[in-house]
Copies of this chain bind each other. A is one copy, B any other.
Amino acid sequence: MVKVGVVGYGVIGQRLADGVSRQEDMELVGVCDVGPTLSVRALKESGMPYPFFSGSMDNSAFEALDIPVTGSFEELVEASDIILDAAPGGIGAKNKATYEKHGKKAVFQGGEADSVADVFFHGYANYEKGLGAKWLKLTSCNTTGLIRAVDSMDRSVGVEKVAITIIRRVADPGDYHRGLTNALMVDEAPSHQCLDLMHIMPHIHATGILVHTPVTHGHIITLCVTPKKSVSLEAVEEEFRKHDRIRVVSRAEGFLGNASLFRYARDLGNYRSDMYEIALWKDTLVKSGEDIMFAINIPQESITIPETMDAVRAAMEMQTDRLEGVGKTNDYLGLGKWK
């Protein structure tokens, strides 16, 4: 059993803990945060399903709320084999010194600078690079989803280049510190997701534009992919359908947009109403000459969880084969099971 600690118990940290607790070959040592946020209060109210470690010098705020503290940040690190760091962007780089001091490996999320890690990681695209690595950084939510689709096409027909439009959700449900009201916002191009994709898949050229939109669940991305050889829409769809982390959906079924997918996750009774898969609209799959165009949905809160589990598998050499590694993650998360 690989012992895993989760540092930072926010939107991503909660879901990393959920993911680890579903991996039968991993043990969740505990989660850590610095103050009694709503998420920590919820942990207490729901009966402490995860052991809590305090990242604060002063535990009086936790004591005042009767939140049981199992130990300190350093004690969590010491008790773990590997740390999943989901602290706010930039804090992970500071935490790294502690991980180093205790001789532990760590996986950082997309908000940290690339320099924090040796390996920029994606379970499906470059699992092998993560094998035995000490410091790994996950691709961000959009890039993780993008690469699932591009990697799928690349492994079947080869991909030369891709032009991307990211229609980005601007805040998570419950965010009050950021938001847009009745406005779309255009970023400078190319967006970092394209650069990140090229970092992971250096043989592909990627560019693209990102536009922020005032919604809270699910980015939608359109891709215009230039394959290395001509391929039919049916063949592309067939490959996507085989992928355990891609759902092919349609308007006819009732999936009209990102909000349908969030509702569907709730209807499924998924824990925290999360979904791990990207969705790909069959209705949008069209050709532009030999280029293949389509739209996908990215559930931003939970999408990186499976690839982070993959990262643990690679870093700890639990499975040395790519498909075996991602397959274990899929089994424990129930991915592909519904097909």
A254 an interface residue at 8 Å Cβ cutoff? yes
Flag if A257 contacts B212 (CB, 8 Å).
yes
Decide if A184 is an interface residue (CB 8 Å cutoff): yes
Select from chain B the residue with minimum beta-carbon distance to A214: B181
Closest B residue to A266 using CB positions: B272
Would you call A190 an interface residue if the criterion is a C-beta within 8 Å of the partner chain's C-beta atoms? yes
A283: nearest chain-B partner, CB-CB: B188
Given the interface contacts A181-B170, A256-B185, A260-B38, does A291 sit within 8 Å of B163 by beta carbon?
Answer: yes
A167 at interface (Cβ–Cβ under 8 A)? yes
Check if A46 is an interface residue, CB within 8 A of chain B.
yes
Q: Is A258 an interface residue (CB 8 A)?
A: yes
B175 touches A253 (CB 8 A): no
- Name the interface size band of chain A: 35 or more
A215, B183: Cα distance in complex, Å:
6
Q: Which B residues are CB-close (under 8 A) to A190?
A: 286
Complex: chain B residue closest to A290, CB-CB: B161
Contact of A179 with B176 at beta-carbon distance under 8 Å, contacts A188-B251, A289-B205 already known: no
B285 touching A189, Cβ below 8 Å: yes
Contacts A181-B180, A182-B173 known; A295 to B220 CB distance under 8 Å? no
CB distance from A191 to the nearest CB of B (A): 10
A window 213-243: CB within 8 A of B: 213-218, 220, 222, 224, 226
Which residue of B38, B211, B259, B286 is within 8 Å of A255 (Cβ)?
A: B38
Question: In the complex, what distance in Å separates the CA atom of A14 from the CA atom of B273?
Answer: 15
Q: Name A215's contact: one of B165, B174, B182, B281 (CB within 8 Å).
A: B182
Evaluate contact between A183 and B179: CB separation under 8 angstroms: yes
Map CB proximity to B onto A151-173 as digits: 1 under 8 Å, 0 otherwise. Answer: 00000000011110101001111
- Distance in angstroms from A15 CB to nearest chain B CB is 10
B263:A173 contact, CB within 8 angstroms: yes
**A58 contacts partner chain B, Cβ-Cβ < 8 Å:** no
On chain B, the residues within 8 Å of A181 by CB distance are 170-171, 175, 179-182, 214-216
Q: A38-B253, A176-B180 are in contact. List 5 more A-B contacts (CB 8 A).
A: A42-B269, A176-B257, A181-B214, A186-B256, A189-B293
Residue numbers of A with Cβ under 8 A of B are 14, 37-39, 41-43, 45-46, 49, 160-163, 165, 167, 170-176, 178-190, 205-209, 211-218, 220, 222, 224, 226, 251, 253-260, 262-264, 266-269, 271-273, 281, 283-289, 291, 293-295, 338
For the complex of A and B, 4 pairs with smallest distance between CB atoms:
A174-B263, A42-B267, A183-B259, A179-B181
